[in-house]
Structures are given as C-alpha cells and as structure tokens.
C-alpha cells in the first residue's frame, strides 16, 4: 500500500483540504497529513492550534495520521516511501505546484500526484477564510466543525 503525504500550513484547514485528504485516503489507503511551517507566511493561528485542529478534523479515521513536519517535506515522503499529493484549484495552483514537484523530485526523487479540487470547493482557500475571520464573517461553511471547536479561542481573540 502506497502512503500519500498531504502537507500544508492549514491556517486554517478548510473543507476543501478535508475533501482532498478523504479522496487521497480512498485512492492510496493511507494518508499522512503533515502540518508545516511556511517560512514565507505569517500564520494567523498558532502551530499548536493548527496541528490540533487538523487532528480533530480526522478524529477516528484510522487511515489518516496527522504529524507536525520538522524538516524537508521531500525527506518525510522518502522516509515513508510515499507519494506527495497536492490539491489544485486552477491553473495558478497547477503552475506553482508543478515547480514544487520538480524541486521535490530533484531533492529526493519524490513523485507528486495532483488531485483537482471539486468545483464546489475551488474558491475556498485558507486566505479566504482568514479574511472572513478578520472581517468577522461566518466561516462555518468553510472549516470543518471539529476544527472550528479547536480554533474558536484564537478566533475569538481577533
């Protein structure tokens, strides 16, 4: 059984992310969700909150494991003899993700599989959700309920 690795900052995790991960779990049988720190981003939510919210979103799903990424993603994928799975919402995502796939292939020989977003999720991004939080708009349609429960304190402090 091949292990799929899905990574992201998940700031916050969205229903688009959970759909992608659930679909990957059906295809590959086992998914490791790697919550990462992007050095180019200023996160809205703490690392602990992001990690715990992703764990909560997949509570009880035995074929999905959530980890904190320490080090290079390509090294994690190689360690598990897995494939990297990335979601793409459109051509902009595809172009960006293709560059990353080439880098990961060069670094560790990692293969990347792209899964297109379902149309109903294609406009949802963590950036969109963060903007909704900043402007005090409801986000219940865009973030899994279990994750919202974990994030509510940090949302309330905004």
Q: Distance between CA 50 and CA 69 in Å, rounded?
A: 12
133: left (phi over 0), alpha (psi -120 to 50) or beta: alpha
pLDDT value for 113: 98
Q: Distance between CA 23 and CA 10 in Å, rounded?
A: 17
Please, are residues 142 and 128 in contact by the beta-carbon 8 Å criterion?
yes
pLDDT value for 30: 96
H/E element holding 76? helix 73-79
Supply the DSSP string of 17-49, one letter for each residue.
HHHHHHHHHHHHSEEEEEE---TT---SS-HHH
Q: How many domains, the chain?
A: 1
pLDDT value for 1: 77
- Print the domain residue range for 120: 3-156
pTM of the predicted model, to two decimals?
A: 0.94
Catalytic residue set: 17, 41, 89, 126
Q: Distance between CA 21 and CA 30 in Å, rounded?
A: 10
pLDDT value for 41: 78
Q: Distance between CA 130 and CA 123 in Å, rounded?
A: 14
pLDDT value for 73: 92
> What CATH number does the domain containing 70 carry?
3.40.50.620
Tens of each residue's pLDDT in the chain, 158 residues: 799 999 999 999 999 999 999 999 999 989 999 999 877 778 999 999 999 999 999 999 999 999 999 998 999 999 999 999 999 999 999 999 999 999 999 989 999 999 999 999 999 999 999 999 999 999 999 999 999 999 998 998 77
pLDDT value for 21: 98
> Chain-centre distance of CA 142, in angstroms?
14
pLDDT value for 153: 87
Supply the DSSP string of 130-157, one letter for each residue.
HHHHHTT---TTTS-HHHHHHHHHHHHT
pLDDT value for 135: 95
> What is the 8-class DSSP label of residue 105?
H
23: left (phi over 0), alpha (psi -120 to 50) or beta: alpha
């Amino acid at each position: 059984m091949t292990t799929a690795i899905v990574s992201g900052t998940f700031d916050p995790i969205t229903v688009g992310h959970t759909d992608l991960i659930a679909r990957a779990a059906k295809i590959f049988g086992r998914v490791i969700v790697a919550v990462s720190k992007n050095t180019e981003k200023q996160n809205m939510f703490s690392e602990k909150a992001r990690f715990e919210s992703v764990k909560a979103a997949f509570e009880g799903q035995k074929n999905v494991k959530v980890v904190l990424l320490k080090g290079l993603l390509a090294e994690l994928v190689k360690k598990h003899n897995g494939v990297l799975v990335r979601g793409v919402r459109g051509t902009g995502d595809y172009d960006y993700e293709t560059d990353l796939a080439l880098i990961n292939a060069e670094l560790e020989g990692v293969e990347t599989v792209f899964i297109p977003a379902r149309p109903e999720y294609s406009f949802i991004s963590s950036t969109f959700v963060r903007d909704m939080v900043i402007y005090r708009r409801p986000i219940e349609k865009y973030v899994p309920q279990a994750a919202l429960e974990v994030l509510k304190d940090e949302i309330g402090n905004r």
